Amino acid sequence: MKAFLVAIGAAVLLTVGANLILKQMNFSAEATTASPNARVGTDG
């Protein structure tokens, strides 16, 4: 049981660390999918 809790804690730390690193690199879903060239609301 102790090893399982340690593994969960390690996974949480890795997730939080990766999130912080990617945010500093400006690599997020919002940054990669937002575009001024998006065609929204055009009646083709």
One-letter amino acid at 42 equals: T
3-39 pLDDT, tens digit per residue, is 999 999 999 999 999 999 988 887 766 656 666 776 6
Please classify residue 38 by burial: count the beta carbons closer than 10 Å to its beta carbon, then call 0-12 exposed, 13-18 middle and 19+ buried.
Answer: exposed
Helix (H/G/I), strand (E/B), else coil: 26 = coil
Is the pTM value of this prediction over 0.85?
Answer: no
**Inter-CA distances, 19 with 5, 12, 26, Å:** 21, 11, 10
The domain ranges of the chain are 2-26
Q: Nearest 5°: CA angle at 34, between 28 and 38?
A: 155
